[in-house]
Amino acid sequence: MNVKEYLSQKKNDDCVTIKTIPFASHNIYVLYMPSITDMTKIQDSILAPLLEWNNPEDKTVEHAFSAEPLTILSQAKDMDSHLLNGYTLMLENETVYAVETCGFHYRAVSEPVSEMTLRGARDGFIESLEANIKLLRVHLRSTHLKFEHLSLGLKAFTHVTIAYVEEEANEKLLEEVRKRVKAVKEDYLPDGGVVEQSLEKNTFTLFPELQETERPAKVANALAEGKVAIFVEGSPSVLLAPVTLNSLFQTSDDYNFKWIPASLIRLMRFAAAFLAVMLPSIYISLISFHHGLIPTDLAISISKTREGVPFPSFMEAFVMQLTIEILREAGIRLPKPIGPAVSIVGAIVLGEAAVTAGIVSPLMIIVVAFAAICSFTIVDYSLSLALRTVSFVMLFAAALLGIYGLILAVFILSIHLIRLNSFTVPYLEPFAPYYPNRWKDTLIRLRFDKEGGLDE
Amino acid sequence: MTLKSLFCLICSAVLLTGCWDIKEIEDVGIVTGLALDVAEEDHMLMINQYVKPGQIPTQQDSSQTDSPYQNLESTGTTLFEMIRENSLESNRPPNYTHLKSILFSTRLLEKEKLSQLIDLYIRDHEFRRTVPVFITADPVQKIFNAQPEKELFPAIQIKELSENYHKNNTNPKNLTIGDMSQYISEKKSFIIPGMAIINGNIKSYGAGVISGKTSQYIGWIPLEKMEGVRYLHNNVEGGYIYLSEKNIADGPVVLEIKGADSKFDVSFSDGELSMSVDVKVTTSLGEDWGVDRNVFKTGWEEGIKEAADKNIEDKINAILQIAQKELETDFVHLSQWVRIHQPDYWNKHKEEWDDIFPQIDIDVQADVSIKDFGTQNFNMK
């Protein structure tokens, strides 16, 4: 490592400030990037002690610092990355010291927008890895909590931290996570979502292989259960692995309220997810294939409302589903104050007008709208995206072959889900493979045992 | 590879099954009722009652202009032919999955065998086995054209009426086409709930008897005698017993039936079968026209009980009289008790049951208990 060469190279760099502090025998160079460092920190804890220090001959610069942890760097690559992380470098002869002085700007801790809960911790992760780990420590104070720090990205690096609780996390799982994280070969990883996708093995599945959350409490819970969390610098979303379909339906509200109502609500959430996927397709297969399965009075009134509708029921359902999806997307993209208003007005006006114009039957609006509302109860947004896509597949299957087609599609979906693994854990665990002992926290959530764990 | 095989699977599922029979609900002619009668020249007449969905009144628009149903009549010699003849007149092909009632006329069942007539309904998967069957002595057009007040369709009105059997003992219990096919294949006689037009309204009106031997209509049980049949079928769930002044001294009384249970016993001695029927009826005092009665006095119900016992015995005997002497066929299914209690005898003689049945001595005993007199007693003397 040639310190002189490095110094001259940095002298031409506008972003790096170099201060020279002369001593009798030699100079000490202090290097930092002013845009990402805390000036007062540099002034108080580096420059001031250095200037006051009378430099006895036999002592290195290390002795000027008492509290600040000082790292000695040995490679040029490390020097660059430390500068970029907001460290201040001190070059003395051939030795390079680094002091942490970073002054990145982050937003304050606030409640996550995409994950709402009624009760429980309201803090949410922010873009700072360090702050996120601090937030996690608030919820999980354990000496067994371990972190492994890694840097990903070939051209621009992103800090990634694997967190787990020792003795809880399965060693095999941990190995798999480490292997996959280290195998990522991307030039640049902008956000947690990209990291998630580069860690996934099944790139063709609709279902998420990692769970994303912005709630420290949720991460703490998951870690205590033996999962592994992956923090990504610059991203408020923390990835949890492994994930099962069952865990995607759980929310912290389930645990914070009494077990009977919480279980009923969870059952309802499962039912709503089922309806969100199946209701429109069941409806069209009933009205266009199996009229005999509808109660007579309902059949007559459906027949009446559909009279004069120019489209086959499949087209009707497809167009309405598509409209709902467009409204939903528009609601996300629009600025906050007008977003909800536009989607509500859009839904009411479009639905009402479509019915009065005789393009769509009112029952179809009810069915599609109800399915859309049901889909909002799905806790995890990636799962919601997956299920919404599946609902379109179901719609096609129903239009093609009625209930028979639906059953075929459900079979294919089941086969897919059973084959799916998330970090060596079967996706449908504990239903398939069948572990009835672990059903205590699945469709219902059993009461907590006073002696720990969920009651038998 | 997996993707390729999945693709092949979907393709074959779509292409090879050929199950592409999409049919929108508004293109289907929903038939709620079906009636069969005789027509000229040895033909049959079939009426299909179609729903006209456009005429169903809604909450916003209750001004009904046209009747909500259309009765399509067709004649022919086979049922299939007549059903297909519908498509000459109706643009919506008939769909029988919502069939609510099948109505036969007595004239048709005198002429044709019921077993032949229901063959299509049992054979075709579109007909449900739970569709109730009815019989009428009036022209079927009259019943299918009556304007029901509370229902929209006469065919549904007929069915709904028969579901009142737990309120009134003279209403026969529903007979589904599935039960009917069972009776026919067992060669048992049975009754079909009857309907009639009285003052322009559809009314449940007794029952028609179908002989197991010929599978044809042989006689009618009038409305007022239906109660006896219900006791013998052991399906009494409600109803009332009216005792007039003639029977009890203190004034007429109506007893409300809370429940009833009939017990049958068959004894066999000296080559003679004899049956006993024990009917236990639990009632409460429903309506009392005798002002002088004091229900707080013990034994107040003695006289009423005796009169009620006799009343029920008379009703049952009247039916047995019809079954044994007039029609000489076992439409109340006493044969099953013989089969249960005297299986050896039954196995030997089941072929000639219709000849044995009219000769059997049947002893009827009724036991009415009055459990309750309500919340009222005017007489505090």
Nearest CA in chain A to B19: A401
* Cα–Cα distance for residue pair B31/B50, rounded to 1 Å: 4
B30 with A299: Cβ contact below 8 A: yes
Same domain for A288 and A404, yes or no, is: yes
When CB atoms are compared, the residue of A289, A307, A401 closest to B17 is A401
Residues of B in contact with A420 (CB under 8 A): none
A412 located within any domain: yes
The pair of three-digit structure tokens given for residue B347, joined into one six-digit string: 């196995």
pLDDT, position A456: 46
Same domain for A70 and A147, yes or no, is: no
Strands A27-32 and A70-73: unpaired
When CB atoms are compared, the residue of A288, A299, A314 closest to B23 is A288
DSSP bridge partners of B261: B280
CB B48 within 8 A of CB B101: no
CB B253 within 8 A of CB B261: no
Domain limits for position A402? 254-426
For residue A399, give the amino acid letter: A
CA distance B235 to chain A (A): 27
B25 with A303: Cβ contact below 8 A: yes
The pair of three-digit structure tokens given for residue B349, joined into one six-digit string: 């003689």
pLDDT, position B134: 93
Nearest CA in chain A to B26: A303
A447 located within any domain: no
Same domain for A224 and A294, yes or no, is: no
CB B28 within 8 A of CB B93: yes
* Cα–Cα distance for residue pair A324/A321, rounded to 1 Å: 5
A160 located within any domain: yes
A248 located within any domain: no
DSSP bridge partners of B223: none
pLDDT, position B18: 44
A433 located within any domain: no
Same domain for A343 and A362, yes or no, is: yes
ipTM over 0.85: no
Same domain for A137 and A162, yes or no, is: yes
Maximum CA pair distance of chain B? 97
Nearest CA in chain A to B99: A296
A175 located within any domain: yes
The pair of three-digit structure tokens given for residue A307, joined into one six-digit string: 């009279």
Nearest CA in chain B to A293: B97
* Cα–Cα distance for residue pair B119/B127, rounded to 1 Å: 11
Q: pLDDT tens per residue, chain B (381 residues)?
A: 688 888 887 777 655 554 467 788 888 888 999 999 998 888 899 999 998 888 887 766 666 667 888 899 999 888 888 888 888 888 888 888 899 999 999 999 998 888 888 888 888 878 888 999 999 999 999 899 888 877 888 888 888 888 888 888 888 888 999 999 999 988 889 999 999 998 888 888 889 999 988 889 999 999 888 888 989 988 888 888 888 877 777 788 888 999 899 999 998 888 788 899 999 999 988 888 877 777 777 888 888 888 899 999 999 999 999 998 888 888 988 888 999 998 988 898 888 888 888 888 999 999 999 888 877 776 665
* Cα–Cα distance for residue pair A393/A408, rounded to 1 Å: 11
* Cα–Cα distance for residue pair B67/B3, rounded to 1 Å: 56
Q: Does residue A326 surpass a pLDDT of 80?
A: yes
CA distance A302 to chain B (A): 8
Same domain for A200 and A265, yes or no, is: no
Same domain for A267 and A336, yes or no, is: yes
Task: Give domain limits for chain B.
Answer: 22-221, 223-381
Helix (H, G, I), strand (E, B) or coil at A150: strand
A123 located within any domain: no
Same domain for A161 and A280, yes or no, is: no
A331 located within any domain: yes
CA distance A291 to chain B (A): 6
Q: Would you call the peptide bond into A242 cis, given omega within 30 degrees of 0 as the criterion?
A: yes
CB A81 within 8 A of CB A233: no
Nearest CA in chain B to A284: B24
B223-381 adopts what CATH topology? Answer: GMP Synthetase; Chain A, domain 3 (3.30.300)
A300 with B51: Cβ contact below 8 A: yes
Same domain for A233 and A342, yes or no, is: no
Query: Which value, in Å, is the radius of gyration of the alpha carbons in chain A?
Result: 29
Same domain for A272 and A401, yes or no, is: yes
Residues of A in contact with B21 (CB under 8 A): 289
Same domain for A261 and A367, yes or no, is: yes
* Cα–Cα distance for residue pair B68/B324, rounded to 1 Å: 45
The pair of three-digit structure tokens given for residue A260, joined into one six-digit string: 């009977």
Residues of A in contact with B52 (CB under 8 A): none
The pair of three-digit structure tokens given for residue A433, joined into one six-digit string: 């493979």
* Cα–Cα distance for residue pair A83/B278, rounded to 1 Å: 104
Residues of B in contact with A400 (CB under 8 A): 14, 20
Same domain for A299 and A374, yes or no, is: yes
Angle, helices A362-376 vs A339-356, to 10°: value is 160
Please state whether the predicted TM-score (pTM) of the whole model is above 0.95. Answer: no
The pair of three-digit structure tokens given for residue B352, joined into one six-digit string: 């000639």
